[in-house]
Amino acid sequence: MTSPARLVYDERLTPPKTWWVIAFLFGLSLALVFLPYGLIAALIALMIGTCLAGMYVSAQGSTRIRVTEDTLFVSDARIPLTALGQPEILEGEEARAWRTYKADLRAFMVMRSFLPSAVRVEVIDPDDPTPYLYLATRTPQRLAEALCR
């Protein structure tokens, strides 16, 4: 029986708290639209609108990046570290450039609009058509260090 690989890095890409406030405000605005039809209609619209917006916010926070001693896990993808090249930390304008006009359509990209920094890693496996990984992260330095092990 093999022991599980030791976890080196773990990050969940959760949305900022203000998004939850916006989700509630969306429900509240929907309630105001339905208020002329009565208080019960407004309360139902508040619940439905808040739930729908909350489901969207929750879906944005479901992505997780994990690195063990030998594998990178991103969402459902499992990539051996031996198939990856040297990571490159991207901040500000450089990260935006790789998300937009420098982006390759074949790349594996995990983008979050609320995260301005990322790590870009070349895929060196000749059998993989993916040229690189673009991973949005709050801690690009820690992720790059974990991938270099």
The mean pLDDT values, 10 residues at a time, for the chain of 149 residues are 76 90 97 97 97 91 88 92 93 92 93 90 92 95 91
**How distant, in Å, are the alpha carbons of 66, 78, 79, 114, 125 from that of 71?**
8, 7, 6, 26, 14
Question: Partners of 78 in the beta sheet?
Answer: 73
Residues 137 and 119: beta-carbon distance below 8 Å: yes
Query: What pLDDT does residue 96 have?
Result: 93
Question: Partners of 116 in the beta sheet?
Answer: none
Query: What pLDDT does residue 114 have?
Result: 85
Task: Measure CA 55 to chain center.
Answer: 15
Tokens 């270099």 belong to 148
